[in-house]
């Protein structure tokens, strides 16, 4: 087991060995609640990526030939080890990310659910067969691994996003290279330690820390066949274009601007409860955050006062040393300043600040990266705070006259991750679901993120690629189809040796 104590560099994991590479640069890793540096991630370059690829390549054939049921046994052991380490992992997420312990537990739990889904790989990998596609000829389809895969992860879900990727990839028979976010690498290290403990053969999964240079080496390496990415949309677009230009299969999940429509007939207390979690959970640092509420008609008069009161009641504080704090810190001081600038710009452009969290203070932790819940009312689609993915604890409120106007606002957005509606009308809910341009829809649900057995189905500027993360689409992404057409001749038919006799 690797022990990463205060400010010790985070190790890479290549060919079954943990080691800190000899590199010039390290990215500091902070505890956002306190502002203290707790580790550092080595900025690995192309030479180290090549070492990881060669280790994955050396392990690839034997792992492909390992029967799926044997792969499952490793994953079952892994699942039990994850359960045993559940609280430890949640605390690790909280410590390096800044989200609350409850949110961190959700992060870990949703990741474990992907491992559980991967344990069904013997069923998920089954092919297809049709007898007599022509007289005496049969056809079957098998799914085989694509080869060496790689995952490039963001900072906002240190446990879930890596586990979105490698459990299904290795279950399908691929080898894998994981590049965690350089901002939150510690949880990934522990996740892979547990996988090693579960008995995964050397080289099947490798971990390389790094930044842009490391990512570019992954995108251009000729032996890497498929790449999974989660992050901002501009980077997702770059990953997709660069990866596909180099002949790779790519799934690149980007950012979002998720709308929550509140109809006049909505159960306002339920809508407020859902929006508090959707807008301010994880300090707004998630691609499924309900960052914009569209109030329809008289709903604004009921929703905004209650939502404002709920936001003001949220306690901002540290998440890793005390149980207090319903809202934790954001990831860095630079990110906090970016969010503040967007709030300030929104006010200058005509939005009304109903709740202002820019001056949030936590006296016991003055160096933490804190920002309180903020609500901007009377936002319009031309404002910068609307066009940007804020990725912070900021809720925009747009007022619409009717459902049609609400749909027009939502559907004009370049992003297409999630959209939700609060209503008691089945007819309104059906029309909304049918017409809204988003890959994930919630009805009286504030966060429409699907479970592991459904795809994380972003559209438009929220996703680049064809096959999404999670569910059967992930199985198709990490495999390729081989179709065999078979004909067996009757005695003597086509038998040249028989004819010669």
For the annotated catalytic residues, the residue numbers are 287
3-state secondary structure of 327: strand
Between CA 33 and CA 39, with CA 36 as vertex, the angle to 5 degrees is 115
Structure tokens at 214: 């490391």
What DSSP assignment string belongs to 397-427? Answer: EEEESSHHHHHHHHHHSSEESEEEEE-S-HH
262: phi then psi, degrees, rounded to nearest 5: -110, 110
Strands 26-31, 459-460: pairing is unpaired
Strands 463-464, 394-400: pairing is unpaired
Tell me which DSSP letter residue 139 carries.
E
3-state secondary structure of 451: coil
What's the Cα-to-Cα distance from 220 to each of 13, 148, 178, 213, 274, rounded to whole Å? 21, 13, 15, 11, 43
What string of H, E and C letters represents the secondary structure of 7-58? CEECCEEECCEEECCCCCCEEEEEECCCCEEEEEEECCCHHHHHHHHHHHHH
CA distance 474 to 228: 10
């Amino acid at each position: 087991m690797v022990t990463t104590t205060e400010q010790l560099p985070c190790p890479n994991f290549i060919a079954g060995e943990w080691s800190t590479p000899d590199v010039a640069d390290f990215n500091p890793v902070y505890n956002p609640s306190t502002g203290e540096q707790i580790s550092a991630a080595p900025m690995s370059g192309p030479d180290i990526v090549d070492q990881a690829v060669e280790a994955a390549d050396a392990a690839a054939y034997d792992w492909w030939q390992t029967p799926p049921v044997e792969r499952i046994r490793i994953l079952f052991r892994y699942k039990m080890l994850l359960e045993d380490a559940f609280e430890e992992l949640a605390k690790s997420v909280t410590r390096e990310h800044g989200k609350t312990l409850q949110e961190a537990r959700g992060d870990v739990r949703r990741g474990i659910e992907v491992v559980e889904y991967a344990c069904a790989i013997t069923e998920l990998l089954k092919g297809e067969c049709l007898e007599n596609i022509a007289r005496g000829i049969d056809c079957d389809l098998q799914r085989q691994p694509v080869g060496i895969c790689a995952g490039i992860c963001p900072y906002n879900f240190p446990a879930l996003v890596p586990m979105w990727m490698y459990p299904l990839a290795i279950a399908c028979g691929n080898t894998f290279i994981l590049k965690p976010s350089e901002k939150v690498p510690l949880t990934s290290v522990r996740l892979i330690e547990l996988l090693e403990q579960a008995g995964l053969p050397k080289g099947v999964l490798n971990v390389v820390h790094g930044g842009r240079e490391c990512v570019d080496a992954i995108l251009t390496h000729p032996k890497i066949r498929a790449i999974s990415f989660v992050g901002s949309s501009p980077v997702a677009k770059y990953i997709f274009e660069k990866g596909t230009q180099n002949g790779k299969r790519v799934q690149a999940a980007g950012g979002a601007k998720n709308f929550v429509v509140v109809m006049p007939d909505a159960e306002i207390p339920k809508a407020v409860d859902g929006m508090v979690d959707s807008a301010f959970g994880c300090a707004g640092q998630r691609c499924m955050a309900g960052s914009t509420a569209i109030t329809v008609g008289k709903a604004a008069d009921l929703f905004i006062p209650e939502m404002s009161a709920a936001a003001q009641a949220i306690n901002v504080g540290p998440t890793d040393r005390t149980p207090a704090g319903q809202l934790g810190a954001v990831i860095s001081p630079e990110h906090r300043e970016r969010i503040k600038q967007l709030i300030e710009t929104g006010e200058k452009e005509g939005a009304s600040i109903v709740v202002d969290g820019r001056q949030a203070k936590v006296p016991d932790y003055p160096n933490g990266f804190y920002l309180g819940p903020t609500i901007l009312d009377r936002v319009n689609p031309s404002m910068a705070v609307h066009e940007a993915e804020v990725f912070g604890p900021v809720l925009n409120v747009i007022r619409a006259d009717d459902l049609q106007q609400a749909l027009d606002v939502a559907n004009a957005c370049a992003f297409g991750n999630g959209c939700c509606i609060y209503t008691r009308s089945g007819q309104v809910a059906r029309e909304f679901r049918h017409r809204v341009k988003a890959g994930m829809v919630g009805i009286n649900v504030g966060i429409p993120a699907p479970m592991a057995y459904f795809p994380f189905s972003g559209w438009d500027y929220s996703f680049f690629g064809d096959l999404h993360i999670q569910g059967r689409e992930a199985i198709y992404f990490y495999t390729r189809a081989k179709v065999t057409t078979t004909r067996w001749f009757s005695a003597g038919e086509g038998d040249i040796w028989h004819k010669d006799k």
